[in-house]
């Protein structure tokens, strides 16, 4: 028998559940609620607001909790979801303030979903992390925080406090370098576009090949590293045909990177003095060592006859 509920033809409870469960279409709002710029709790809270699942007094009354519901900002109407987050005097002033900054015509919406959709449709270039999707979520969150401060701590429910909190949150995103320039694409009117930063370019690996020295020359390649406060060094000497003349490896005690590189260079030059003949080229990959007093002193100490040693580094600067 073949189970048509799965592509493999094998029966599974997952495939059965997918075939019988009810699926509703994902709305535009649901798609843009979740983004990487804001904490997950802000996205989840906005999802609850759009479904009237926040624990307002009117919601608790419907669940059998006896309460006298009254809006904390106007003291005139019941605390409904649309009133608290859209139509109350405080909410209207907050939304109007940010609509003016972003060049959005204040829609005077009568529902939370209509207000958020106005922001999403205000630019032709929109994405989950666009500033037009972030600001509405942050406004909803801080309206709720200000409402709770007024209810439980006796603070005044004022629009300018909410605006200040939203501004502070966006500035923190900018200080953390989370606001990329592309998040303001299609909307450069808001002054906070100055908080954006360009994405960091990733460094790409570059292949480096060994180049043989001129005829009758020898080349010393050496390197050093420091790991767990211990230094290690190594190197090898080859002739113009690429034949290995010698190689070395040695461990040090506690040294910094500069001393490890210079000690490795000194040890390699000492070996070249005893084991190699002919003009010598040295290649290293530590820029701080090139031209330093340590490297020059090492060369002068080891090479007594400048006529038999010609040192060059990978940046093309000749020594001796």
Q: What pLDDT is stored for residue 141 in this prediction?
A: 95
Q: What pLDDT is stored for residue 41 in this prediction?
A: 92
Beginning with the edge strand found earlier in the chain, give each strand of the sheet holding 280-283 in spatial order. 244-251, 230-239, 218-227, 280-283
Q: What pLDDT is stored for residue 1 in this prediction?
A: 53
On whether the CB atoms of residues 210 and 221 are closer than 8 A, the answer is yes
Q: Left if phi > 0, otherwise alpha if psi is -120 to 50, otherwise beta: which for 124?
A: alpha
Kindly report the pTM of this predicted structure. 0.55
Q: What CATH code is assigned to 218-319?
A: 3.30.420.10
Token code pair at residue 168? 């502070």
Helix, strand counts (H, E) of the chain? 11, 6
Classify 98 as helix, strand or coil: helix
Alpha helices in the chain (DSSP H): 13-20, 28-33, 40-50, 57-62, 81-82, 89-101, 112-120, 131-152, 159-175, 257-275, 293-302
C-alpha distance across the termini of the chain, in Å: 84
Positions of the chain with pLDDT under 70:
1-7, 9, 22-26, 28, 66-69, 185-203, 285-320
Residue ranges per structural domain of the chain: 24-195, 218-319
């Amino acid at each position: 028998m073949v189970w048509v509920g799965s592509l493999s033809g094998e029966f599974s409870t997952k495939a059965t559940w997918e075939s019988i469960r009810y699926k509703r279409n994902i709305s535009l709002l649901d798609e843009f609620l979740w983004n990487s710029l804001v904490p997950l709790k802000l996205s989840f809270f906005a999802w609850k607001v759009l479904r009237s699942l926040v624990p307002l007094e009117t919601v608790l009354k419907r669940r059998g909790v006896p309460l006298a519901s009254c809006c904390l900002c106007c003291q005139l109407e019941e605390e409904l979801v649309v009133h608290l987050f859209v139509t109350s005097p405080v909410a209207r002033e907050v939304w109007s303030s940010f609509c003016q900054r972003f060049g959005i015509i204040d829609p005077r919406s009568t529902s939370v979903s209509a207000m958020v959709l106005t922001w999403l449709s205000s630019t032709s270039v929109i994405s989950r992390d666009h500033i037009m999707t972030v600001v509405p979520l942050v406004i909803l969150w801080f309206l709720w925080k200000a409402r709770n401060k007024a209810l439980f701590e006796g603070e005044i429910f004022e629009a300018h406090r909410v605006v200040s909190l939203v501004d502070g949150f966006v500035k923190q995103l900018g200080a953390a370098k989370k606001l990329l320039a592309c998040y303001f694409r299609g909307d450069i009117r808001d002054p906070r576009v100055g908080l954006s930063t360009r994405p960091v370019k990733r460094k790409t690996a570059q292949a480096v090949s060994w180049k043989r020295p001129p005829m009758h020359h020898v080349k010393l390649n050496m390197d050093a590293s420091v790991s767990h406060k211990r230094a290690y060094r190594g190197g090898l000497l080859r002739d113009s045909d690429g034949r290995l003349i010698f190689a070395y490896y040695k461990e040090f005690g506690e040294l910094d990177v500069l001393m490890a590189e210079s000690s490795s260079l000194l040890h390699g030059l000492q070996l070249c003095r005893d084991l190699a003949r002919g003009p010598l080229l040295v290649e290293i990959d530590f820029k701080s060592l090139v031209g330093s007093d340590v490297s020059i002193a090492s060369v002068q100490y080891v090479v007594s006859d400048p006529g038999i040693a010609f040192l060059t580094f990978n940046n093309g600067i000749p020594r001796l």
